[in-house]
Structure 1
């Protein structure tokens, strides 16, 4: 049975984890979001979020975007390659509804799977 938990080991927690991804990332982007990824040696994917106040002014909107992104990752974690991902929100992301944002994230996860060719 597949576990769909989102435990602490599935998150990027420190600056060094984020810097590791930013050094040599694989990039997948849409007009509203970017997902940077880099292969890790842990055997499972991890995710970190970057939703800047500069691009998403209201706190409840930033929280909504982070919540939907974490949920999308949680549901797709077993289909993803063993990579560290950083999801970056762009300026127009608040114009998207929940369903549209979820579809866009799914498209980006699939693109990373094709780029790594491990899916």
Structure 2
């Protein structure tokens, strides 16, 4: 898997402290997604789709790769956290990690706005 190998090779570091990404994010179509800090790592959990939860691995800057716990999904994705003018995380967008990801996931159509900070 070339995309996965590229992520491993990047061995990235988050641009901001991990706590800056923690919180609840909302997308009109997908609903809420929560970024939690668990054991020194970030996890992404979708409220409406229990299959979509997994660890976030920093790649570069504010971009992370999410590896879903359910490996049969075969739809790992990139998560790009955006910041406002004040430097605080204000939302996130997603893109498929691999060009072979099923188009029905529509990651590119999601646009999450950060609703609240969390201390998970």
**Structure 1 length-normalised TM:** 0.32
Instruction: Give the number of the structure whose residues are more often strand, by fraction.
Output: 2
**Structure 2 length-normalised TM:** 0.32
Instruction: Give the number of the structure whose residues are more often helix, by fraction.
Output: 1
